[in-house]
Amino acid sequence: MYLQKTQFGKVNKGPRNLILDRMQQTIHIFVSQKRNIELFLVSFVMLFAEIALIRWLSTEARIFAYFNNLVLLSCFLGIGLGCYFSQRKVILSMTAITLSGLVLMIKLPIVIEVQGHELHLFRDVPMLLSAFTDSVIWYEPSAGSVFLLTVLGMLSTLVIFFVVLLIFIPLGQLLGRYLDEHKNIIAAYSINVAASIAGIWCFSVFSFVYSPPWSWFALIAVILLSMLVFQPKRSKLSYISMTVLLLTITSVILMPSAKPGRLKTVWSPYQKLEVYPQVYQNVDMHRGYLINVNNVGYMSLLNLSDSFIGSYPGVFSLSERQLSQYDIPYLFKKDARDVLILGAGAGNDAAGALRHGIEAVDAVEIDPGIYLLGSEYHPEQPYSDPRVNVIIDDARSYLKRSTKRYDIISFGLLDAHTLYSAYNNTRIDHYVYTLESFQEAKELLIDDGLVTVAFEAQRPWIKRRLHDLLVKAFGGPPIVFTYRHGRYGWGGTMFVTGNNVNVIHDAVKNEPVLDRFISQRRADFSRGVTDETSVKLTTDDWPYLYLEKPRIPNMHLCLMVILSLLFLLTRRVILAKGSRLNFHFFFLGAAFLLLEFQNISKATLLLGSTWLVNSFIITGILVLILLANLFVSVFKVKSLNLVYLFLVLSLLAVYFLPLNLFNFLGYWQKAIIVGVILNLPVFFAAIVFIESFKRTPSKDLAFGSNLLGAAVGGVLESLSFVLGINALLLVVVVFYGLSLLFLNRDRLTSGVPAP
């Protein structure tokens, strides 16, 4: 790579002064030009609205909780098409009107009847996509015509997809126009990235204070209203549309809950939590509370104390309670003193440990909202007991950094059916149920310690997978038995194993009641598993617990086919007036999103699947883009061939380097070193993009092509279901190679998708 100082470096100043002068100049340009303020506002509101819609739709229309990158794809397509049409008339009121329409579509009681069941057209019908049996979704529809259910679910999902797309087209038009007309494209793109960082952390603040969705949409409405001030021609329709949006937000605030008796609603950083009182059948007895997560039942806060059970002898039995899923781990090891609970939830597992006299309980729960509700509502108040130490963290992250040894490690019912991030397809519990995770748990046990795993295994092959994982991690078969949902717990399958499997089996034989209980509930692995060798073990590279085999799930395939057909049918509209995709920027957009996906996946594995880690990772990527912009401002890049070489070499280094080598480091040491290694390719890719972007004459066309490519990259994330996460880096290398090919052909350069 040949570098020489630009005109900013001709004065006899050191590199530090050059950088400071450049930063001062950028700040001066920003505050002195109205167009920069417009660019900042549109970039901010796009990123904020993108995150808000992903979060809201994945809650209210639950199908998006299982692949919410579909909403991200819709946002990218909308912005990309907007950039394509940036020279056409911008109708900002369309954003307000379509956003209002989306809110009303979800909140109004629009109900249709499907196979004798009343389903909400946009909240429930999309869930019919889960009629396929090759993946697992909670509360999936009952059996019926898979074709009919899939068609209905697809149509409803696509309506939401296109409404979201329409929301972002006017914003993309403004973005493309501002970039194309800006005199200093590096400064313009830096403003775009800086505004995106501000949008990420603004939403993070909203999440930190548990703000409800109406506050997110209110901020969007205020920013859209302020953007009208900058428009040269403001029609009455624009102000009417903003009024409609504000009235829609008000209606959302005042709309009553669909279910009576709700005590509290909390929008935690991860999900929507609702608390309801729980009464046992027709008996006038308050037995605890129910927490709904994303509008479906998720966990109970049960009173299983001796005093409560003894007060209702006709309903409960102390001997039966002793064998509940929260009590039974302590019958296998009666001398246990130190216990670790992973996925402690609202406190049922901790309460069970305290009932058996455990001296120290470390309770790990990822969602602070669930912990707060448990502290407030759990009848036995386990989190108020000084013996319980609550850790708000990802279970896998805690396993990696803990050095304490435990008598019992209990994996609670932490199978959370929510994606960790909009930028990848891993759920927040995926890395908890891998071979490496169980091996790390084994290292934290005392010599005769044991592990219990409670899981709602809705498919026989999930039971088989967990069984085989524990066999491989601990060297012997676990004890496996099932619970039914009832008076003493949520139910599920329990696996019991440990460092000495024979000791555990002997303990069961010495307890006739326990032996009889387990014998009556032995798990059957035979039904539904046609070929035991086909049940692939989950690893950190292939953590997809809810897929039977390495394959793209059918519901993902259907959506990919439908979107591809729609693109082919509408390509003449998209590529109007002889325009064409800028394939250099297109392939860079696809490559960058796949690079971002695997970076986030690997970083969350090492640092934890928490919402703050996600915010820091994405911010780090954007900061590297800003540093690349600064680099190109200070130095002139004569040839990009060497930059491409460094890019490919850094990608191959990440591909071949086993990141578990850094597990011995402290948390922050690991975060810094691994962050630099994982994101080094981002820096080189950003240099390629901004240098190319600086040279291309049609900024709007280039940026639109880049975002359309990013949308394709979002679709191709599904390849990780087949290849694994690390192998996606090879696909990234191929895409960057294609971008270089079109660079040499068109004399242009490569790109990164806008956040």
Residue 274 within a domain: no
Q: What is the model's pLDDT at position 357?
A: 93
Q: Find the CATH number of the domain harbouring 558.
A: 1.20.1250
Q: Are residues 509 and 595 in the same domain?
A: no
Q: Say whether both 461 and 507 belong to one domain.
A: yes
Residues 553 and 513 in one domain: no
Q: Which of 494, 513, 534 is the last residue in one of the domains? A: 534
DSSP 8-class letter at 211: -
Per-residue confidence (pLDDT) for residue 599, from 0 to 100: 84
Residue 301 lies in a domain: no
580 and 527, same structural domain?
no
| Rg, the chain, Cα only | 27
Q: What's the pLDDT score for residue 642?
A: 92
Instruction: Specify if 453 maps to a domain.
Output: yes
Note whether 612 and 701 are same-domain residues: yes
User: Cα separation of 314 and 265, whole Å?
Assistant: 34
Same domain for 600 and 467: no
Return the beta strands (E) in 329-444 as ranges.
338-342, 360-365, 388-392, 406-411
Mean pLDDT in consecutive groups of 10 residues from the start of the chain, 755 residues: 42 55 56 78 94 90 77 86 84 88 88 81 81 65 68 86 93 90 88 93 92 90 83 70 77 64 89 87 76 86 92 86 91 92 94 95 94 95 96 90 94 73 69 93 94 88 91 91 84 90 83 88 62 76 87 79 70 57 90 88 78 81 90 86 94 87 72 82 93 85 84 85 92 95 62 37
* 596 within domain boundaries: yes
Residues 523 and 560 in one domain: no
Residue 588, strand partner residues: none
- Could you tell me if residue 358 is inside a domain? yes
Specify the DSSP class assigned to residue 639: -
In a domain, 426, yes or no: no
- CA distances (Å), origin 457, targets 327, 415, 430, 525, 609: 20, 9, 14, 11, 22
Helix, strand, coil fractions of the chain, as percent rounded to 5: 60, 10, 30
| Overall number of domains in the chain | 2
What is the model's pLDDT at position 509? 85
For residue 359, what is the domain's CATH number?
Answer: 3.40.50.150
pLDDT at 551: 87
Q: What is the pLDDT of residue 160?
A: 92
Residue 687 domain boundaries: 3-256+547-746
Residue 422 lies inside a defined structural domain of this protein: no
Output the furthest CA–CA distance in the chain (Å, rounded).
Answer: 91
Q: What percent of the chain has pLDDT over 90?
A: 35
Q: What is the pLDDT of residue 530?
A: 47
Which helix (H) or strand (E) segment holds residue 4: the answer is strand 3-5
613 lies in the same domain as 483: no
Q: Do 157 and 113 lie in a common domain?
A: yes
Residues 530 and 561 in one domain: no
534, 561, 581 - which closes a domain: 534
Indicate if 336 and 193 belong to the same structural domain.
no
**Residues 393 and 341: beta-carbon distance below 8 Å:** no
- Is there a domain that residue 267 lies in? no
- What global pTM score does this model have? 0.87
pLDDT at residue 636 in the model: 84
- pLDDT tens track for 621-643: 888 899 999 899 888 888 899 99
Residues 120 and 192 in one domain: yes
Tell me which H or E stretch contains 623: helix 611-634
Q: Among the three residues 534, 569, 600, which one is the final residue of a domain in this structure? A: 534
How many angstroms separate the Cα of 476 from the Cα of each of 467, 470, 471, 507, 536? Answer: 10, 8, 5, 16, 18
Q: For residue 540, what is the DSSP state?
A: S
How far does Cα 351 stand from its chain's mean position? 30
Long-range residue pairs from 226-230, CB within 8 A, at least 24 positions apart, any chain: 226/41, 227/38, 227/41, 227/42, 227/45, 227/92, 227/174, 228/92, 230/34, 230/37, 230/38, 230/41
**Model confidence over 389-403: pLDDT tens digits?**
999 988 998 998 899
pLDDT at position 688: 94
